[in-house]
Structure 1
Amino acid sequence: MQAIIEDFRRQILAATETGTPLRLRGGGSKDWYGNAPAALSGTLPATLLDTGAYTGVVDYEPTELVITARCGTPLAQIEALLAANGQMLAFEPPRYAEGSTIGGVVASGLAGPRRASAGGVRDFVLGAKLMDGRGEVLKFGGQVMKNVAGYDVSRLLAGSMGTLGLVLEVSLKVLPLPVCEASLRFGMSEIDALRRLNEWAGQPLPVSASCWHQGVLTLRLSGAEAAVRAALLRFGAAGGARLDDGEAAAFWTGLRDQTQGYFSGGALWRLSVPSAASAIILKGEQLIEWGGALRWLKVDADAGPDAGAIAEGIRRSVAAAGGHATLFRAEDKRCGAFHPLPPAVATINRRLKQAFDPAGIFDPGRL
């Protein structure tokens, strides 16, 4: 593996010398995420730095609830190993396509339906090794919880989209699989669903995921058998109908990986707002997750010359609700994939970029 690291270093130093942008890529399952590839090019075409060969679990001790793996290790391989030991990545990382790697999971910072109850990617990052723009290998955090008290640079890598450097290894906290799970469905309006979700969030209920779409609210319960059974009785009395286990598993997997019909066609916006925010009236079809904190908006992909005005209107409405809007999937991202940052935050981001990647070669324009 040292030969692979040296090859990475050679490519990074060569890119720094020539001013050639580098596009970091593992399995390619999230190539579409972020700004359009054309935005990655400077005066020279971007060069692909493929991390797929740098694979393998470096360390895993189930009793310590920590796994350390190289960036190119397939997510499926890691999850199979954890499942064999009754454990999981609790933030439920989405795949979107075959070939997803653990490096891409951390770099994208995306989490699945369990995010609202378990936490996001950065909450589970304990440590990381990073190769920066000078070809130096930097180590942050560690492999136990006590090593990550206070400000930890490793957590900055979650969602950095490869713009700070090449993540070589990552150590992640894992959790036991739930002893029991069950899912229910209710018929209710968007307003009622948001109200009930926020009421339930303040109560000791084992709700691990939620989804509202087209007048139907689906809940997943996870935890101890006694807790799940008690919640089933309560929600059943409130009109919830339990799903068959196979149907429930297919539903949550399809939501996680966006293989459900809702996610096909059109341009897809990801709206992050306070869970208590009321319904946001926008033109398009909405799907709500994370207890109301994540709202997907699908709009007509053929906006043409009005695309910029539509994007500005969406972002203005979401900002008024206390959130931000990301153009998640779309053929045309000229309006920018990500919500503009406040000036102070943008300044911090620029300084971090300069510190880790002074030549600006890592995925320029991706964020």
Structure 2
Amino acid sequence: MPPDNDVIDSVSERIRAAAAAGTPLRIRGGGTKDFYGQSLEGGILDMTPYAGVTSYEPSELVVTARAGTPLAELEALLAAQGQCLPFEPPYFDAPGLRATVGGMVASGLSGPARASVGAVRDYVLGLKLINGRGELLTFGGQVMKNVAGYDVSRLMAGALGTLGVLTEVSLKVLPVAPAEATLRFECGQAQALDWLNAWGGLPLPLNASCWVEEAGSGTLHVRLRGAVAAVDAACKTLGGEKKDNRESTGYWQACRDQQHPWFQARQAGQDLWRLSVPQTAAVLDLPDSPLVEWHGAQRWVRADAGQAQALRAAALQAGGHATLFIAAGAHSTGATARFDALKPPLDRIHRELKREFDPAGILNRGRMAAGW
């Protein structure tokens, strides 16, 4: 493996050459999220050689890792100290060996606990990146209160690499909860949403939830995490069937990585849509029974081609938006019209940011939106 500075210099030189020629570059780590986004243009800029944890202070709850670091490697290091990334970043890679730290931040995707603990961006303290001019820039730091003005570090979470090539990220981590329990309830979607809305107003250690209908029967799983006394008390208050923790760990990992049977049952000609709506939104008029996560705020839908307009309309009416998460038959190639169109003022801000960070428009061109 080449020395670290050589990797950075090589990436910078390649970006400068691409900018001068106007040729796009496709930033890539392990490739586990190649399906996500609108377009995959240009030659691959592989960031996996730039890997490794550069700093970890368990007592300070801060870790710094290079972009190419395998996510599984980072989480194993944290687990050895009784700590974790509480937002449960998805791997979308069964063994978990290819997903990287850079891809985790660039995609901005979070797992089952997101509604309770926050998203990836909430844990980004600082980062280093190479912009579209080939310049290595540093933003933020290793403490929470390190920003005066625009928080560029968190801006990169979910930017899909369109603003720069991430090279290093500092993250806040948390201790693993002392206690955990998963409860199972048999109920319809409306009842599940009513319960989740009611429980959300109570002092309960709700951490994750998943409702799904299979073979005509609806089931709600709720995960509790927190102090031992709080989890025990919540179990008595809520009732339901208490599941084995080892079995439940596999269940929640399957939800995180879309290995749950509901996801696996998606037909070859169906798209997978993600509808982001308020947690209090009622049951939506959808073409198929959804899988509901995040206490009602995230609703996964399997839909045939041509139903995009109806799904976007349903999400908009509920006060949210819809994303074509995986196009039918496309797991390694992009597709158009993945994201809802931005309103003019927000679209203008996005485009101006793109021009500032990547004036030649070469980094992950078209991944976020057509034309940039």
TM range (shorter): over 0.9
Distance 1:350 1:151 in 2: 16
Q: SS state of the match for residue 313, structure 2? A: helix
- How much does 1:312 deviate? 1.2
- How much does 1:339 deviate? 1.0
Which aligned pairs between 1:42-121 and structure 2 lie closer than 5 A?
Answer: 46-97=42-93, 98=96, 99-121=98-120
Size of the aligned set, in residue pairs, is 350
Distance 1:216 1:259 in 2: 17
Q: SS state of the match for residue 366, structure 1? A: coil
Q: SS state of the match for residue 10, structure 2? A: helix
**Residue by residue, what CA displacement relative to the aligned partner does 1:84-115 show, whole Å, maximum 9, x if unpaired?**
00000011100001300000000000000010
Q: Is the 8 A contact 1:283 1:299 kept in 2?
A: yes
Q: Is the 8 A contact 2:275 2:321 kept in 1?
A: yes
Distance 1:10 1:366 in 2: 22
Q: SS state of the match for residue 310, structure 2? A: helix
Q: SS state of the match for residue 285, structure 1? A: coil
**Residue by residue, what CA displacement relative to the aligned partner does 1:229-249 show, whole Å, maximum 9, x if unpaired?**
00111112xxx0011112111
Cα separation, partners in 2 of 1:18 and 1:106, compared to 1, 3 Å? same
Partner of 2:286: 282
Distance 1:144 1:334 in 2: 38
- Normalised TM-score (structure 2): 0.92
**Residue by residue, what CA displacement relative to the aligned partner does 1:276-316 show, whole Å, maximum 9, x if unpaired?**
0111111123000001000000123xx3xxx2xx2111101
- How much does 1:36 deviate? 3.9
Partner of 1:43: none
* Higher RCO (Cα < 8 Å, 6 or more apart): 2
Partner of 1:321: 318
Instruction: Verify: 1:23 aligned to 2:26, yes or no.
Output: yes
Q: Is the 8 A contact 1:311 1:335 kept in 2?
A: no
Partner of 1:234: 237
Q: Is the 8 A contact 1:130 1:166 kept in 2?
A: yes
Q: Is the 8 A contact 1:74 1:101 kept in 2?
A: yes
Instruction: Verify: 1:158 aligned to 2:154, yes or no.
Output: no
Cα separation, partners in 2 of 1:137 and 1:80, compared to 1, 3 Å? same
Q: SS state of the match for residue 328, structure 1? A: strand
After TM superposition, the structure 1 stretch with the greater mean CA deviation from structure 2, 144-153 or 310-319, is: 144-153
After TM superposition, the structure 1 stretch with the greater mean CA deviation from structure 2, 21-30 or 184-193, is: 184-193
Partner of 2:196: 197
Q: Is the 8 A contact 1:180 1:224 kept in 2?
A: yes
Which aligned pairs between 1:159-238 and structure 2 lie closer than 5 A?
Answer: 159-214=158-213, 215-236=218-239
After TM superposition, the structure 1 stretch with the greater mean CA deviation from structure 2, 241-250 or 160-169, is: 241-250
Q: SS state of the match for residue 146, structure 2? A: helix
Distance 1:234 1:83 in 2: 30
Cα separation, partners in 2 of 1:149 and 1:189, compared to 1, 3 Å? farther
- How much does 1:151 deviate? 3.1
Letter in 2 for 1:258: Q
Instruction: Verify: 1:341 aligned to 2:342, yes or no.
Output: yes
Q: Is the 8 A contact 1:30 1:96 kept in 2?
A: yes
Letter in 2 for 1:14: A
Distance 2:289 2:204 in 1: 29
Partner of 2:6: 3
- How much does 1:148 deviate? 3.4
Distance 1:198 1:355 in 2: 42
Q: SS state of the match for residue 347, structure 2? A: helix
Q: Is the 8 A contact 2:186 2:220 kept in 1?
A: yes
Letter in 2 for 1:295: R
- How much does 1:58 deviate? 1.1
- Normalised TM-score (structure 1): 0.93
Distance 2:17 2:106 in 1: 23
Cα separation, partners in 2 of 1:334 and 1:33, compared to 1, 3 Å? closer
Q: Is the 8 A contact 1:206 1:223 kept in 2?
A: yes
- How much does 1:27 deviate? 0.6
After TM superposition, the structure 1 stretch with the greater mean CA deviation from structure 2, 334-343 or 194-203, is: 334-343
Q: Is the 8 A contact 1:285 1:299 kept in 2?
A: no
Partner of 1:365: 366
Q: Is the 8 A contact 1:22 1:362 kept in 2?
A: yes
Instruction: Verify: 1:267 aligned to 2:271, yes or no.
Output: yes
Q: Structure 2: which 5+ residue stretches go unaligned?
A: none
Structure with the largest fraction of helix:
1
Letter in 2 for 1:243: K
Q: Is the 8 A contact 2:39 2:365 kept in 1?
A: no
**Residue by residue, what CA displacement relative to the aligned partner does 1:249-270 show, whole Å, maximum 9, x if unpaired?**
1100100011112112231100
Letter in 1 for 2:276: S
Distance 1:123 1:85 in 2: 21
Q: SS state of the match for residue 14, structure 1? A: helix
Q: Is the 8 A contact 1:126 1:148 kept in 2?
A: no
The runs of at least 4 consecutive aligned structure 1 residues that moved more than 2 Å come to 148-151, 331-335
Q: Is the 8 A contact 2:197 2:295 kept in 1?
A: yes
Partner of 1:141: 140
Distance 2:261 2:158 in 1: 26
